[in-house]
Amino acid sequence: MTDTRDTQPRMGFFTDTSVCIGCKACEVACKEWNAVPGPAGSAGLNFTGDSYDNTGGLGADTWRHVAFIEQRTPPGGQENIGSTVDLGMPGMPGEHDRSEFRWLMASDVCKHCTHAACLDVCPTGALFRTEFGTVVVQEDICNGCGYCVPACPYGVIDQREDDGRVWKCTMCYDRLGAGQEPACAKACPTDSIQFGELDVLRARADERLAQLHEAGVGDARLYGRDPADGVGGNGAFFLLLDEPEVYGLPPAPVVTTRDLPAMWRRAGAAAATLLVGLAATFLGRKR
């Protein structure tokens, strides 16, 4: 059989948060297509009190999460980006003391890292790299050991309470195999979530960033686009309008298993030294 990974271009997501309207169509489409259940032990979503966010974050039962970050005053040059409202209400700043307010909205997902620590630590092969360059969990092989959970630098992978197996975004692997785009990208009404060949998306993201900078949006930046970063670049990267920490993303993620080869080499050298010492002791006693 021909290895399609040699001919199939790597696929990925580019999420442009500057046009996200927080509709959550991606969350719904993801749950419906992949039959992702609601929160364990709950009749449904709970009120978090965190703006309009009712899912809280990525997890075994939330493969797409739309974050709502409330900011009182938009940073310089971003007054026309995102949703802003005048808080002219009784007891609140009014016409003569105007205070602007905006939401930074972003649909988060598994990053499908180039150097994926979850793949390195999985003892059963339940996690594998597909022909599209994505990282997928085979739930029928996962034994629930949980090694991959702390290995993920983004805190994406999570275990379900009922059987301990891990679950996360598959980038709709079944749809890709049928020549279709992932459900979340298909459902996004503003093209905030764009799916396609990773190289094409990176070029498109560079153009979009330049466009925003030209428009005076100096805080716009790309996150996860650089192949030289700590995880080798992401298969799902983002255009952000503020620091990554504002969105709950690590500013400088590093693959957590980067030191494993050196550790194994040192362990092997130590074991070899120990064996030589034991052999020398044994032979000395024999004489």
Position 188, amino acid = C
Tell whether 5 is in a known binding site.
Answer: no
Tell whether 280 is in a known binding site.
Answer: no
Tell whether 23 is in a known binding site.
Answer: yes
Tell whether 248 is in a known binding site.
Answer: no
Tell whether 188 is in a known binding site.
Answer: yes
Tell whether 152 is in a known binding site.
Answer: yes
Rounded (5°) CA angle 44-48-53: 85
Tell whether 99 is in a known binding site.
Answer: no
Tell whether 122 is in a known binding site.
Answer: yes
Backbone dihedral region for residue 24 (phi beyond 0: left; psi -120 to 50: alpha; all else: beta): left
DSSP notation for 239-270: EESS-GGGGT--SS---TTTTHHHHHHHHHHH
Tell whether 142 is in a known binding site.
Answer: yes
Tell whether 58 is in a known binding site.
Answer: no
Q: Which of 162, 156, 154 is nearest to 137 (CA)?
A: 156
Beta-bridge partners for 102: 71, 84
Residues marked as binding for [4Fe-4S] cluster?
A: 20, 23, 26, 30, 110, 113, 118, 122, 142, 145, 148, 152, 169, 172, 184, 188
Q: Which residues are annotated as a binding site?
A: 20, 23, 26, 30, 110, 113, 118, 122, 142, 145, 148, 152, 169, 172, 184, 188
